[in-house]
Chains A and B, each alone.
Chain A
Amino acid sequence: MHERNYTKLWWRNCLAIICLSVVPLLFVAISLYSLFDGIYTEKVTETLKRTAENRRDAIDLFFNERIAQLYTIANTNTFAALSDETFLKKIFEVMHVKSNSYMDIGVIDDEGNHRSYVGPYYSLLKEVNYKHEPWFNATKANGIYISDIFMGFRKVPHFIIAVMVREKNTSWILRVTINLKNIYDVLQVDLVGEGSDAFIVNNKNVLMTQPRSGGYYLEKPNYPDFSSTITTNAGRRNFEAQESFYASTKISSTKWVLVVKEDPAEILLPFQKGRYLMVFFTISGLATIVLGAIIFTNVLINRIRQTDQEDASKSDMLIQANKMIALSKMAAGIAHEVNNPLAAIAEVAGWMKDLLAEEDIAKNKNFTELDESVDKIEQQVARAKKVIHNLLGFARRMEPAKEKINVNTLLDETTGFLDNEAKYVNINIEKKYAENVPIITNDLSQIQQVILNILNNAIDAIEHSGTVTVSTRYHEKTDEVEISIADTGKGIPESNLGKIFDPFFTTKEVGKGTGLGLSISYTIIEKLGGRITVESKAGEGTVFTIFLPKN
């Protein structure tokens, strides 16, 4: 029979199960991951975008309110009234009551001269002329002007809001400096993460506010260039080998762009947790699959191995049974062909004996020799007859008797037959009977024949000095009685072990054994519903075990 490679089978099965389970699992895990990643990123950018827009709206509102306030003041007061610094101071104080957005206020005439000023830089700014300042001209051109941050005459970063008023033939400008802290506060409000930031750049990518992460007014920001933003944008950007989420939006009242930045490590923290959880579950899943595959494959392979062994032993038994059938047929044929001539020889010899018994022949000088020769012929015929009759043991299909047998007693009786013979060759027959062996129903004389046969073989195997151990056991599970006969004889070489139940197989000298004893024993035990097995180690001994059903 072809021997299966169980290791290879194990690996193949195990890997097949693992692959078939792992691939879908990984597929699901990866899809879920990327889906989740996509959704989360989208949500994050959306939130960031909204944050940027909210801040922009707040700043726009701030500017619009300032402009409105400024516009109202400019248009409800005359140039002459506002040129009076006492009056301007009063107005400035009123403006300050509701907000501290302003740093100073000034009225500039058509020629760029500071006509009145209220604020901390009085001595520095009172006498300056703005005629050539860009903002002065821009305000004159546009009517309303919000400047970028600039140093100006005071050499301090600041920005201004200016409105121009036409009065009669001339025009004048009301200008305020905005407290930078106000813009900064609006920008930075609710920025909680350590890596979060918000700042404003103008259209030349120059900082209009100070980012939290560092950088000063009018410097280039340490961030990507968003100065050309027109509509609100949000997304992941790499800058100097660091990936961050950015949202940028244009502030409508100025040429400024507001940028909000979030650190992915912080903003994606919930997602990271989800990711760890997913990785954990995926790995646990993988481990479960691998463990399951191993356990399942082990069980499967063991079952296959068991089935194979059963099949193998079944086919061994089948082969043996077929051998027996073939032998019975052959035995019948041989018996028929040999018996007739043998019968003739026997009768002729008998006749010769009769003739030799006559008186006159007895006087012949060769009489004794002739008589002995005829005796020898008869002996040899008797021997041949014995062989044939043994052979016929196969073909005899007698109904087995059904008797109640006490196996231990039967063994006692049977070993009793051989006691003398055993003693003579210095063999000790040891008995190890189990007490719970039940009474079985079977053919006593046939079982006895088998036991006798095996005992004889055991004694022959030992030759001189040794032990034959006869033991019994009861197997409750299978409801079988086990009789085991172990000898300390020369054992059976492994190469012969498979052949010992074969008919005519013998290792005894020619004429000593027919090679049928074990073969017949095998057939008998089979017929009686039992089985017989052999174990042997050359040089150590042999154990024959007979299993008989209880009923």
Chain B
Amino acid sequence: MEKKQRGVKILLVDDEEIFLEATARQLGVRGFKVTTADSGEAALLLMHDTPPDVVVLDQQMPGMSGSETFVEMKRINPLVEVIILTGNTSVDNALELLKMGTFDYLMKPINIDDLLYKIEDAYTRKMLNEKQQ
């Protein structure tokens, strides 16, 4: 098991607590700094307190939806990269979000390694974008 510290700050947002916890732990073990939020509203608060590099955002949530949260997040921090998790047919929505500027999307249930690669890619892009500015 690799324990290297990657220093990437991740905000994981999902209303499913068990998913949230299990995923956070796995990512933690793999060297990411993970904060979790169980709703869009909670996630937006955390954007100020502990600004993340990459957000992993569930699309279907009670309250603020993934799309709405995404729009707000980009307003707070335009450089943040967002990976959308989608549970069903809303692939169309996910595609729509891709056009709006999300980094990528993943179909649930996710494979932790797939997520890991996507996060790393997203982080790389963020770094490039920051350098350009």
Which A residues are in CB contact (< 8 Å) with B85? 343
Which B residues are in CB contact (< 8 Å) with A332? 88-89
Contact of A343 among B19, B29, B92 (CB under 8 A): B19
A347-B22 Cα distance, complex, nearest whole Å: 5
A389-B111 Cα distance, complex, nearest whole Å: 14
A397-B108 Cα distance, complex, nearest whole Å: 19
Chain B interface residues (CB < 8 Å from chain A): 1, 16, 18-19, 22-23, 25-26, 29, 60, 85, 87-89, 91-92, 107-112
Judging by beta carbons under 8 Å apart, are A346 and B89 in contact? no
A385-B108 Cα distance, complex, nearest whole Å: 8
Which A residues are in CB contact (< 8 Å) with B112? 347, 350
Chain A residue, CB-CB nearest to B15:
A340
Judging by beta carbons under 8 Å apart, are B88 and A342 in contact? no
Shortest distance from the beta carbon of A502 to any chain B beta carbon, whole Å? 20
Interface residue? A357 (CB, 8 A): yes
Interface residue? A376 (CB, 8 A): no
Shortest distance from the beta carbon of A322 to any chain B beta carbon, whole Å? 18
Of listed A351, A357, A384, residue having the most chain B CB within 10 A: A351
Of listed B23, B87, B91, residue having the most chain A CB within 10 A: B87
Interface class of chain B by DSSP: mixed
Chain A residue, CB-CB nearest to B25:
A351
Which B residues are in CB contact (< 8 Å) with A345? 109
Contact of B109 among A339, A358, A392 (CB under 8 A): A339
**8 Å CB interface, A433-463 against B:** none
* Interface residues contributed by chain A, number (CB under 8 Å): 29
Chain A residue, CB-CB nearest to B87:
A339
Contact of B88 among A339, A351, A357, A385 (CB under 8 A): A339
Judging by beta carbons under 8 Å apart, are A340 and B25 in contact? no
A339-B92 Cα distance, complex, nearest whole Å: 17
Judging by beta carbons under 8 Å apart, are A354 and B26 in contact? yes
Contact of B108 among A331, A333, A342 (CB under 8 A): A342
Shortest distance from the beta carbon of A341 to any chain B beta carbon, whole Å? 8
Interface residue? A335 (CB, 8 A): yes
A-B CB proximity, top 6 nearest: A335-B88, A347-B22, A395-B89, A339-B87, A346-B109, A343-B108
A-B pairs with beta carbons under 8 A, tally: 77
Interface residue? A344 (CB, 8 A): yes
Judging by beta carbons under 8 Å apart, are A347 and B26 in contact? yes
Of listed B18, B92, B109, residue having the most chain A CB within 10 A: B109
Chain B residue, CB-CB nearest to A336:
B88
Judging by beta carbons under 8 Å apart, are B1 and A357 in contact? yes
Judging by beta carbons under 8 Å apart, are A389 and B107 in contact? yes
A341-B111 Cα distance, complex, nearest whole Å: 14
Judging by beta carbons under 8 Å apart, are B16 and A340 in contact? yes
Which A residues are in CB contact (< 8 Å) with B26? 347, 350-351, 354
Judging by beta carbons under 8 Å apart, are A340 and B89 in contact? no
16 further interface pairs, Cβ-Cβ under 8 Å (given A347-B23, A350-B23, A351-B25): A332-B89, A335-B88, A341-B16, A342-B108, A343-B87, A343-B108, A344-B18, A344-B19, A346-B109, A347-B18, A347-B19, A348-B18, A351-B22, A354-B25, A392-B88, A395-B89
A340-B23 Cα distance, complex, nearest whole Å: 13
**8 Å CB interface, A301-335 against B:** 328, 331-333, 335
Known: A343-B16, A344-B22, A350-B26. A392 touches B89 (CB 8 A): yes
Interface residue? A381 (CB, 8 A): yes
Shortest distance from the beta carbon of A88 to any chain B beta carbon, whole Å? 146
Shortest distance from the beta carbon of B118 to any chain A beta carbon, whole Å? 15
Interface residue? A396 (CB, 8 A): yes
Contact of B1 among A341, A346, A358, A392 (CB under 8 A): A358
0 or 1 for each of A349-376: is its CB under 8 Å from B? (1 = yes)? 0110010011000000000000000000
Judging by beta carbons under 8 Å apart, are B1 and A385 in contact? no
A392-B89 Cα distance, complex, nearest whole Å: 6
